[in-house]
Chain A
Protein backbone atom coordinates (compact mmCIF):
# COMPACT_ATOMS: atom_id res chain seq x y z
CA UNK A 1 0.00 0.00 0.00
CA UNK A 2 2.98 2.29 0.45
CA UNK A 3 3.45 2.33 -3.28
CA UNK A 4 0.40 4.55 -3.82
CA UNK A 5 1.54 8.05 -4.76
CA UNK A 6 0.18 10.88 -2.65
CA UNK A 7 -1.98 12.24 -5.45
CA UNK A 8 -3.88 8.97 -5.75
CA UNK A 9 -4.31 8.41 -2.04
CA UNK A 10 -7.59 8.37 -0.19
CA UNK A 11 -6.39 10.98 2.30
CA UNK A 12 -5.36 13.49 -0.34
CA UNK A 13 -8.68 13.24 -2.19
CA UNK A 14 -10.61 13.58 1.03
CA UNK A 15 -8.89 16.90 1.69
CA UNK A 16 -9.36 18.02 -1.92
CA UNK A 17 -13.07 17.14 -1.80
CA UNK A 18 -13.57 19.15 1.39
CA UNK A 19 -11.63 22.18 0.16
CA UNK A 20 -13.17 22.27 -3.30
CA UNK A 21 -16.70 22.00 -1.88
CA UNK A 22 -16.01 24.65 0.73
CA UNK A 23 -14.51 27.15 -1.71
CA UNK A 24 -17.30 26.66 -4.27
CA UNK A 25 -19.96 27.10 -1.60
CA UNK A 26 -18.28 30.28 -0.38
CA UNK A 27 -18.19 31.70 -3.92
CA UNK A 28 -21.84 30.74 -4.46
CA UNK A 29 -22.94 32.42 -1.23
CA UNK A 30 -21.00 35.58 -2.12
CA UNK A 31 -22.57 35.70 -5.59
CA UNK A 32 -26.01 34.97 -4.15
CA UNK A 33 -25.93 38.12 -2.02
CA UNK A 34 -25.07 40.19 -5.08
CA UNK A 35 -27.60 38.46 -7.32
CA UNK A 36 -30.49 38.75 -4.87
CA UNK A 37 -29.67 42.43 -4.52
CA UNK A 38 -29.77 42.89 -8.28
CA UNK A 39 -33.07 41.08 -8.79
CA UNK A 40 -35.06 42.60 -5.97
CA UNK A 41 -38.14 44.33 -7.39
CA UNK A 42 -37.30 48.00 -7.84
CA UNK A 43 -33.79 47.34 -9.11
CA UNK A 44 -32.47 48.15 -12.56
CA UNK A 45 -32.87 44.61 -13.86
CA UNK A 46 -36.20 43.86 -12.19
CA UNK A 47 -38.35 47.03 -12.08
CA UNK A 48 -40.84 47.82 -9.36
CA UNK A 49 -44.40 46.53 -9.83
CA UNK A 50 -45.57 50.09 -10.58
CA UNK A 51 -43.86 49.65 -13.96
CA UNK A 52 -47.28 48.38 -15.10
CA UNK A 53 -48.31 52.06 -15.22
CA UNK A 54 -45.94 52.50 -18.15
CA UNK A 55 -45.65 51.39 -21.72
CA UNK A 56 -43.16 48.53 -22.10
CA UNK A 57 -40.92 48.22 -25.14
CA UNK A 58 -38.43 45.48 -26.07
CA UNK A 59 -35.66 47.25 -27.95
CA UNK A 60 -32.25 46.40 -29.31
CA UNK A 61 -29.48 47.66 -27.04
CA UNK A 62 -26.54 48.06 -29.42
CA UNK A 63 -23.94 48.07 -26.68
CA UNK A 64 -25.17 44.79 -25.23
CA UNK A 65 -26.01 43.28 -28.59
CA UNK A 66 -29.57 42.17 -27.81
CA UNK A 67 -33.06 43.38 -26.97
CA UNK A 68 -33.82 44.73 -23.52
CA UNK A 69 -37.08 45.97 -21.97
CA UNK A 70 -37.43 49.75 -21.94
CA UNK A 71 -40.09 51.62 -19.94
CA UNK A 72 -41.84 54.37 -21.89
CA UNK A 73 -44.37 57.05 -21.05
CA UNK A 74 -47.42 56.45 -18.89
CA UNK A 75 -49.86 53.87 -20.22
CA UNK A 76 -51.86 52.71 -17.20
CA UNK A 77 -53.21 49.18 -17.27
CA UNK A 78 -57.01 49.12 -17.75
CA UNK A 79 -56.87 52.95 -17.83
CA UNK A 80 -56.14 53.42 -14.15
CA UNK A 81 -52.89 54.66 -12.59
CA UNK A 82 -51.99 52.60 -9.56
CA UNK A 83 -49.99 53.57 -6.50
CA UNK A 84 -46.91 51.52 -5.74
CA UNK A 85 -48.83 49.51 -3.14
CA UNK A 86 -51.83 48.94 -5.39
CA UNK A 87 -49.58 47.77 -8.21
CA UNK A 88 -47.75 45.36 -5.93
CA UNK A 89 -51.05 44.00 -4.62
CA UNK A 90 -52.35 43.44 -8.15
CA UNK A 91 -49.18 41.70 -9.38
CA UNK A 92 -49.17 39.62 -6.20
CA UNK A 93 -52.72 38.43 -6.90
CA UNK A 94 -51.65 37.71 -10.48
CA UNK A 95 -48.67 35.63 -9.37
CA UNK A 96 -50.79 33.74 -6.83
CA UNK A 97 -53.30 32.99 -9.57
CA UNK A 98 -50.58 31.83 -11.97
CA UNK A 99 -49.38 29.40 -9.28
CA UNK A 100 -52.80 28.23 -8.10
CA UNK A 101 -53.91 27.55 -11.69
CA UNK A 102 -50.72 25.60 -12.37
CA UNK A 103 -49.90 27.62 -15.50
CA UNK A 104 -46.29 26.42 -15.39
CA UNK A 105 -47.21 22.82 -16.20
CA UNK A 106 -48.25 23.79 -19.74
CA UNK A 107 -46.49 27.12 -20.29
CA UNK A 108 -42.98 28.34 -19.58
CA UNK A 109 -42.29 31.49 -17.56
CA UNK A 110 -38.87 33.01 -18.29
CA UNK A 111 -38.41 29.81 -20.30
CA UNK A 112 -38.99 27.46 -17.36
CA UNK A 113 -41.94 25.10 -17.07
CA UNK A 114 -43.61 22.73 -19.52
CA UNK A 115 -43.54 22.89 -23.30
CA UNK A 116 -47.17 22.24 -24.20
CA UNK A 117 -48.10 25.91 -24.59
CA UNK A 118 -46.22 29.10 -25.50
CA UNK A 119 -43.65 30.89 -23.37
CA UNK A 120 -45.14 33.74 -21.33
CA UNK A 121 -41.99 35.83 -20.76
CA UNK A 122 -42.94 38.48 -23.32
CA UNK A 123 -46.57 37.48 -23.86
CA UNK A 124 -47.67 41.04 -23.04
CA UNK A 125 -45.78 42.15 -26.16
CA UNK A 126 -46.91 39.32 -28.42
CA UNK A 127 -48.07 40.42 -31.88
CA UNK A 128 -50.98 37.96 -31.56
CA UNK A 129 -52.81 40.59 -29.46
CA UNK A 130 -53.34 42.50 -32.74
CA UNK A 131 -52.92 46.07 -31.49
CA UNK A 132 -52.42 48.06 -28.32
CA UNK A 133 -56.04 49.22 -28.40
CA UNK A 134 -57.63 45.79 -28.11
CA UNK A 135 -54.86 43.88 -26.29
CA UNK A 136 -56.14 44.22 -22.71
CA UNK A 137 -59.68 43.31 -23.67
CA UNK A 138 -58.59 40.28 -25.72
CA UNK A 139 -56.37 39.03 -22.91
CA UNK A 140 -59.20 39.31 -20.38
CA UNK A 141 -61.68 37.53 -22.64
CA UNK A 142 -59.21 34.77 -23.33
CA UNK A 143 -58.24 34.20 -19.69
CA UNK A 144 -61.84 34.13 -18.46
CA UNK A 145 -63.11 31.80 -21.17
CA UNK A 146 -60.20 30.19 -22.99
CA UNK A 147 -62.27 27.33 -24.41
CA UNK A 148 -64.59 29.62 -26.38
CA UNK A 149 -61.95 32.21 -27.24
CA UNK A 150 -59.36 29.57 -28.03
CA UNK A 151 -56.12 30.76 -29.59
CA UNK A 152 -54.80 27.47 -30.92
CA UNK A 153 -53.29 28.73 -34.18
CA UNK A 154 -54.71 25.66 -35.86
CA UNK A 155 -53.11 23.22 -33.45
CA UNK A 156 -56.30 22.16 -31.68
CA UNK A 157 -54.51 22.63 -28.39
CA UNK A 158 -56.99 24.63 -26.31
CA UNK A 159 -56.33 26.09 -22.88
CA UNK A 160 -58.77 24.51 -20.42
CA UNK A 161 -61.32 26.54 -18.49
CA UNK A 162 -59.62 27.40 -15.20
CA UNK A 163 -62.40 29.44 -13.58
CA UNK A 164 -60.60 32.78 -13.35
CA UNK A 165 -62.68 35.60 -11.88
CA UNK A 166 -62.60 39.02 -13.53
CA UNK A 167 -60.32 40.27 -10.76
CA UNK A 168 -57.95 37.31 -11.13
CA UNK A 169 -57.84 37.71 -14.91
CA UNK A 170 -56.93 41.41 -14.57
CA UNK A 171 -54.27 40.50 -12.04
CA UNK A 172 -52.78 37.87 -14.35
CA UNK A 173 -52.58 40.46 -17.15
CA UNK A 174 -50.82 42.82 -14.70
CA UNK A 175 -48.38 40.06 -13.76
CA UNK A 176 -47.65 39.29 -17.41
CA UNK A 177 -47.12 42.98 -18.20
CA UNK A 178 -44.77 43.30 -15.25
CA UNK A 179 -42.87 40.14 -16.22
CA UNK A 180 -42.21 41.69 -19.65
CA UNK A 181 -40.25 44.50 -17.92
CA UNK A 182 -37.61 42.11 -16.51
CA UNK A 183 -34.17 42.30 -18.12
CA UNK A 184 -33.62 38.71 -19.27
CA UNK A 185 -30.26 39.18 -21.03
CA UNK A 186 -31.90 39.10 -24.43
CA UNK A 187 -34.17 36.07 -24.01
CA UNK A 188 -36.16 35.56 -26.15
CA UNK A 189 -33.94 36.64 -29.03
CA UNK A 190 -35.11 38.68 -32.04
CA UNK A 191 -38.63 38.93 -30.67
CA UNK A 192 -40.90 40.96 -33.00
CA UNK A 193 -42.98 42.86 -30.44
CA UNK A 194 -46.49 44.18 -31.05
CA UNK A 195 -46.62 47.71 -32.55
CA UNK A 196 -47.07 50.36 -29.90
CA UNK A 197 -47.32 54.16 -29.74
CA UNK A 198 -43.81 55.57 -29.56
CA UNK A 199 -42.19 52.69 -31.50
CA UNK A 200 -39.05 53.76 -33.24
Chain B
Protein backbone atom coordinates (compact mmCIF):
# COMPACT_ATOMS: atom_id res chain seq x y z
CA UNK B 1 0.00 0.00 0.00
CA UNK B 2 1.30 3.42 -0.96
CA UNK B 3 1.34 5.89 1.92
CA UNK B 4 0.89 9.66 1.67
CA UNK B 5 1.40 12.00 4.62
CA UNK B 6 -1.46 14.41 5.08
CA UNK B 7 -0.23 17.62 6.76
CA UNK B 8 -3.34 17.57 8.99
CA UNK B 9 -3.89 13.86 9.67
CA UNK B 10 -0.52 12.19 9.24
CA UNK B 11 0.38 9.10 7.18
CA UNK B 12 -2.61 7.48 5.47
CA UNK B 13 -3.27 4.96 2.70
CA UNK B 14 -3.21 6.57 -0.73
CA UNK B 15 -6.82 5.38 -1.20
CA UNK B 16 -7.91 8.08 1.25
CA UNK B 17 -6.69 10.81 -1.12
CA UNK B 18 -7.88 12.40 -4.34
CA UNK B 19 -5.63 14.39 -6.66
CA UNK B 20 -6.99 17.83 -7.57
CA UNK B 21 -4.59 18.59 -10.42
CA UNK B 22 -1.57 20.84 -10.76
CA UNK B 23 -1.18 24.10 -8.88
CA UNK B 24 -1.27 26.86 -11.50
CA UNK B 25 -2.01 30.54 -11.70
CA UNK B 26 -5.64 31.45 -12.40
CA UNK B 27 -6.16 33.93 -15.27
CA UNK B 28 -7.67 37.30 -14.47
CA UNK B 29 -11.23 38.34 -15.36
CA UNK B 30 -9.88 40.39 -18.29
CA UNK B 31 -7.92 37.51 -19.83
CA UNK B 32 -8.99 35.81 -23.05
CA UNK B 33 -11.25 32.79 -23.44
CA UNK B 34 -8.20 30.92 -24.73
CA UNK B 35 -6.32 31.61 -21.51
CA UNK B 36 -9.31 30.46 -19.45
CA UNK B 37 -9.83 27.33 -21.59
CA UNK B 38 -6.15 26.55 -21.15
CA UNK B 39 -6.47 26.99 -17.39
CA UNK B 40 -9.65 24.94 -17.03
CA UNK B 41 -9.06 22.10 -19.49
CA UNK B 42 -5.36 21.69 -20.24
CA UNK B 43 -2.53 20.44 -18.07
CA UNK B 44 1.20 20.28 -18.84
CA UNK B 45 1.60 16.66 -17.68
CA UNK B 46 5.39 16.93 -17.42
CA UNK B 47 7.82 14.12 -16.70
CA UNK B 48 9.48 14.78 -13.36
CA UNK B 49 8.64 17.37 -10.71
CA UNK B 50 5.01 18.46 -10.27
CA UNK B 51 3.26 20.50 -7.58
CA UNK B 52 -0.36 19.44 -7.13
CA UNK B 53 -3.52 19.95 -5.07
CA UNK B 54 -4.52 16.85 -3.13
CA UNK B 55 -7.49 16.26 -0.86
CA UNK B 56 -7.66 13.93 2.15
CA UNK B 57 -11.23 12.77 1.61
CA UNK B 58 -12.32 11.71 5.14
CA UNK B 59 -11.43 15.15 6.49
CA UNK B 60 -12.02 17.15 3.24
CA UNK B 61 -8.62 18.75 3.79
CA UNK B 62 -6.93 20.24 0.72
CA UNK B 63 -3.16 20.59 0.72
CA UNK B 64 -0.16 20.72 -1.62
CA UNK B 65 1.91 17.69 -2.63
CA UNK B 66 5.10 17.66 -4.66
CA UNK B 67 5.67 14.51 -6.69
CA UNK B 68 8.03 13.07 -9.26
CA UNK B 69 5.89 11.68 -12.09
CA UNK B 70 8.81 9.63 -13.44
CA UNK B 71 9.33 7.67 -10.21
CA UNK B 72 5.86 8.26 -8.70
CA UNK B 73 7.64 9.27 -5.49
CA UNK B 74 5.90 11.74 -3.16
CA UNK B 75 8.60 14.27 -2.38
CA UNK B 76 6.84 16.59 0.05
CA UNK B 77 3.39 17.52 1.37
CA UNK B 78 2.49 20.74 3.16
CA UNK B 79 -0.51 23.01 3.94
CA UNK B 80 -1.70 25.29 1.15
CA UNK B 81 -1.14 28.24 3.49
CA UNK B 82 2.61 27.79 2.94
CA UNK B 83 2.10 28.57 -0.74
CA UNK B 84 -0.69 31.11 -0.54
CA UNK B 85 -1.26 33.99 1.84
CA UNK B 86 -4.25 33.16 4.11
CA UNK B 87 -6.51 35.86 2.65
CA UNK B 88 -5.49 35.22 -0.95
CA UNK B 89 -7.69 32.65 -2.66
CA UNK B 90 -6.50 32.80 -6.27
CA UNK B 91 -3.22 32.97 -8.10
CA UNK B 92 -0.16 30.76 -8.14
CA UNK B 93 3.44 31.13 -7.25
CA UNK B 94 5.14 28.35 -9.12
- Whether A and B are associated in the same complex: the answer reads no
| Chain B contact residues, CB within 8 Å of chain A | none
| Chain A contact residues, CB within 8 Å of chain B | none
